[in-house]
Copies of this chain bind each other. A is one copy, B any other.
Amino acid sequence: MPPGSAQPTASGDSGNTDEQDYAGTPRPDAMFPVLDDGQLAVLSDVGKEWDQSAAAPSVWRSALPVDPALGTYPAPDDFRPARLTRFVPVAGRGGQLPPIETTSSAEALPTAAGRFGQRLKRALFGPPLDASAIAVERMRKLIALPVLSADALSSVAYGPEAMLAVLILAGTTGLSYSLPVGSAIVFLMLAVGVSYRQTIRAYPQGGGSYIVASQNLGRIPGLMAAAGLLIDYIMTVAVSISSGVASITSAYPSLRSATVLIGVVVIIVLLGGNLRGVRQAGTLFAIPTYAFIAAIGALVIAGLVDAAGRDFHPVPAHHLAATQAVTVFLVLRAFSSGATAMTGIEAISNAVPSFKRVEWRNARITLSWMIALLISMFAGILVITKLSGVVPESNQTMLSQLAHVDFGNGSAYLFVQAATAAVLLMAANTSYNDFPRVLFLMAGDEQAPRSFLHIGDRLTFNTGIVLLSVASALIYVGLNGNTASLLPLYAVGVFLAFTLSQTGMVVHWRRHHDQPHWRRSLFLNATGAVLSGIVFVIAGATKFTSGAWIALVLMVLIVVAALRIRRYYETAKQELMLLPGETGGPATVTVPVAPRRQRPGSGGPATALQRDWNAEAAQHPDQVDALTIVPVATLDRPAMRALSYAAALGQPVLALHISPTDEEAQRFSRYWRTWGDHLPLEIMVTPHRAYVAPLVNYIWTLHRQRPDLTLTVTVPEIVDRHLWHTPLHERVVPRLRHALQALPGVVVTSVPFHLGQ
CA distance A709 to B645 in the complex (A): 11
Given contacts A43-B635, A104-B688, is CB(A742)–CB(B111) below 8 Å? yes
Contact of A650 among B108, B650, B680, B698 (CB under 8 A): B650
Contact of A727 among B111, B449, B684, B756 (CB under 8 A): B449
A748's closest neighbor in chain B, by CB?
Answer: B750
CA distance A109 to B696 in the complex (A): 7
Q: What are 26 of the A-B contact pairs (CB < 8 Å)?
A: A32-B660, A46-B675, A48-B676, A55-B647, A55-B650, A59-B596, A62-B601, A64-B627, A68-B702, A70-B702, A73-B704, A97-B666, A97-B669, A102-B686, A102-B694, A104-B687, A110-B696, A128-B688, A128-B690, A451-B730, A568-B728, A575-B637, A619-B641, A621-B645, A744-B754, A744-B757
Considering only residues 53-108 of chain A, those with a C-beta below 8 Å from chain B are 53, 55-57, 59-60, 62-70, 72-73, 75-76, 79, 83, 86-87, 96-102, 104, 106-108
CA distance A302 to B609 in the complex (A): 89
CB-CB under 8 A from A104, the residues of chain B are: 687-688
A623 at the interface (CB under 8 A from B): yes
CB-CB under 8 A from A755, the residues of chain B are: 571-572, 575-576
CB-CB under 8 A from A739, the residues of chain B are: 109, 111, 114
Instruction: Find out whether the CB atom of A577 lies under 8 angstroms from the CB atom of B669.
Output: no
Q: B-facing mask of A639-659, CB < 8 A → 1, else 0?
A: 011001101111111100001
A697 at the interface (CB under 8 A from B): yes
CA distance A622 to B748 in the complex (A): 23
A31's closest neighbor in chain B, by CB?
Answer: B730
A479 at the interface (CB under 8 A from B): no
A752 at the interface (CB under 8 A from B): yes
Instruction: Find out whether the CB atom of A13 lies under 8 angstroms from the CB atom of B663.
Output: yes
At the interface with chain B, which of A33-41, A380-388, A503-511, A540-548? A33-41
Given contacts A131-B687, A457-B689, is CB(A671)–CB(B575) below 8 Å? no
Contact of A661 among B28, B110, B450, B669 (CB under 8 A): B28
Instruction: Find out whether the CB atom of A110 lies under 8 angstroms from the CB atom of B697.
Output: yes
Contact of A676 among B51, B97, B568, B684 (CB under 8 A): B51
Instruction: Find out whether the CB atom of A59 lies under 8 angstroms from the CB atom of B650.
Output: yes
Instruction: Find out whether the CB atom of A719 lies under 8 angstroms from the CB atom of B690.
Output: no
Given contacts A99-B682, A660-B28, is CB(A644)–CB(B671) below 8 Å? no
Protomer copies: 2
The 4 A-B pairs with the shortest beta carbon distances in the complex, nearest first, are A47-B676, A11-B663, A128-B688, A99-B683
CB-CB under 8 A from A604, the residues of chain B are: 63, 67, 72
CA distance A83 to B698 in the complex (A): 11
CA distance A571 to B638 in the complex (A): 15
A665's closest neighbor in chain B, by CB?
Answer: B99
Instruction: Find out whether the CB atom of B29 lies under 8 angstroms from the CB atom of A645.
Output: no
Most chain B CB atoms below 10 A, which of A32, A451, A569, A579 = A32
